[in-house]
Structure 1
Amino acid sequence: MQHLLDEILAKLEKDPYLPFQVFNPEGKDLVFKGKEIISVSETEIPELGADKIRIIYTDKGRFVILDGRCPKPIVINDKHSLSFGCLGYDRVAKAIYGLLGIESFEYV
Structure 2
Amino acid sequence: MDITIKITDREGEIHEVQAPTDMNMNIMELVRMYELAPEGTIGICGGMAMCASCQCYVLNDIELPGMGDDEDAMLSEAFNVKPNSRLGCQINLTENLEGLEIELAPES
Q: TM-score, normalised by structure 2?
A: 0.29
Q: Which has the higher contact order (CA 8 A, sep 6+)?
A: 2
Between structure 1 and structure 2, the one with the greater Rg is: 1
In terms of fraction of residues, the more strand-rich structure is 1
Q: TM-score, normalised by structure 1?
A: 0.29
In terms of fraction of residues, the more helix-rich structure is 1
